[in-house]
Amino acid sequence: MIRAPFQLHRPHSIDEAVRLLSQCVQNGEDVKLLAGGQSLMPSMNLGLVAPAHIVSLNHVAGLDSIRRDGDMLAIGAGTTHHALAESEVVQAHCPILSETAACIGDVQVRNRGTLGGSIGHFDPAADYPPVLVLLDAACQIVSPSGERTVAAKDVFVDYMTTSLSADEVLTEIRVPVLPSDTGTAYVKFTRVEGGFAIVGAGACLRLNPDNTCRSIRVGICGAAPVPVRLTAIEDTLTGKAVDDAFVEMVAAAAYESAHDPVAELHADADYKREMVRVFTRRAVKTAWERAD
């Protein structure tokens, strides 16, 4: 049950939404954006937040588009998890993103929750952030002063904190079209099926014809308050033979990178660190199996 009254605004354009946000901020009034509502509504029901104004993006046209734009996929921030999971374009050109979307929540959550809402809320246990970071995704953001593009790695700045200002709207996420010979995988450790990740790991791996590593990227959630990308291995493992020993090197690097896991009710820091090793191993091995 929502505990406090609020004023609901339903703009029909991004410019109108930004104007409403800016007015609230200038007046010193607490305002929240509503996308799918799968994080905001529970928070309001629990009394964790009580905004005076809510600006809904559900009537803004075009925020749910998925299109190929050259060597990138342009995905509207209002795209639901279900649409991402089922999109043939995403499945063909960035399958790790579809795989990630398909494991979020349950059917009801996937049909209401959105990519942009998940990014803006940024629960460190969310599935998208480590995948977006390893993909070098970019976020298109609109504010009263214009548009800016921010790398995903610069959006997630601390626990439940992003670099978006209160008067900004995330409108589009751009991810690269992956080469067809790229093997990808996202796996996560949860208490119950569809739950938030205690630990999650994503991997993208390309092989040379001689079965050596052409490129590898790994992103992890649960290892720190923000997504961790194993950048140190990306150069050192290039050209190495991809075998079980290679997989173990990546898993060991993931374990070493998990220097500040957030302890929680279901897993203390030491256990989460070990699970980072286990699930990174699984992600890399699966990506290897899928690489052509």
* Structural tokens at position 217: 């990227």
Element (H, E) at 56: strand 53-56
Same-domain pairing of 187 and 277: yes
Q: Judge if 167 and 188 occupy the same domain.
A: no
Question: What CATH number has the domain bearing residue 39?
Answer: 3.30.43.10
pLDDT by residue, tens only, the chain of 292 residues: 677 888 999 999 999 999 999 999 999 999 999 998 888 888 888 888 899 999 999 999 889 999 999 999 999 999 999 999 999 999 999 999 999 999 998 889 899 999 999 999 998 889 999 999 999 999 999 999 999 999 999 999 998 899 999 999 999 999 999 998 999 999 999 988 777 889 999 999 999 999 999 999 999 998 889 999 999 999 999 999 999 999 999 999 999 999 878 778 888 888 999 999 999 999 999 999 999 7
Cα pseudo-dihedral 124, 129, 133, 135, rounded to 10: 160
Q: How many domains does the chain have?
A: 3
Same domain for 28 and 109, yes or no, is no
Is residue 247 situated within a structural domain?
yes
Domain's final residue, options 176, 198, 219: 176
Decide if 26 is inside a domain: yes
Here the CATH number for the domain that contains residue 110 is: 3.30.465.10
Which residue range(s) make up the domain with 165? 66-176
Asked whether residue 166 falls in the same domain as residue 251, the answer is no
- Asked whether residue 135 is assigned to any structural domain, the reply reads yes
Task: Based on the fold, state whether residues 256 and 280 are members of the same structural domain.
Answer: yes
Q: Is residue 2 part of a domain?
A: no
DSSP per position, 209-225: TTSBEEEEEEEEESSSS
Note whether 100 and 201 are same-domain residues. no
Please check whether residues 46 and 11 belong to one and the same domain: yes
In a domain, 61, yes or no: no
Q: Is the pTM of this model over 0.75?
A: yes
Burial class (CB in 10 A: 0-12, 13-18, 19+), 251: buried
Is residue 1, in this structure, part of any structural domain at all? no
Query: What are residue 173's DSSP bridge partners?
Result: 75, 139
Scanning the chain, the segments in alpha helix (DSSP H) are 14-26, 40-45, 81-86, 88-93, 95-102, 107-112, 115-121, 128-134, 152-155, 231-236, 244-257, 269-290
CATH code (residue 228): 3.30.390.50
* Residue 104 shares a structural domain with residue 147: yes
Whether residue 89 is found in the same domain as residue 142: yes
- Rounded to the nearest angstrom, the gap between the alpha carbon of residue 157 and the centroid of all alpha carbons in its chain is 13
247 and 188 housed in the same domain: yes
Query: Does residue 208 form part of some domain?
Result: yes
Last residue of a domain, one of 114, 144, 176: 176
SS3 37: coil
Say if residue 38 is in the same domain as residue 91: no
Residue 172 and residue 187 share a domain: no
* Boundary of a domain, candidates 15, 31, 56: 56
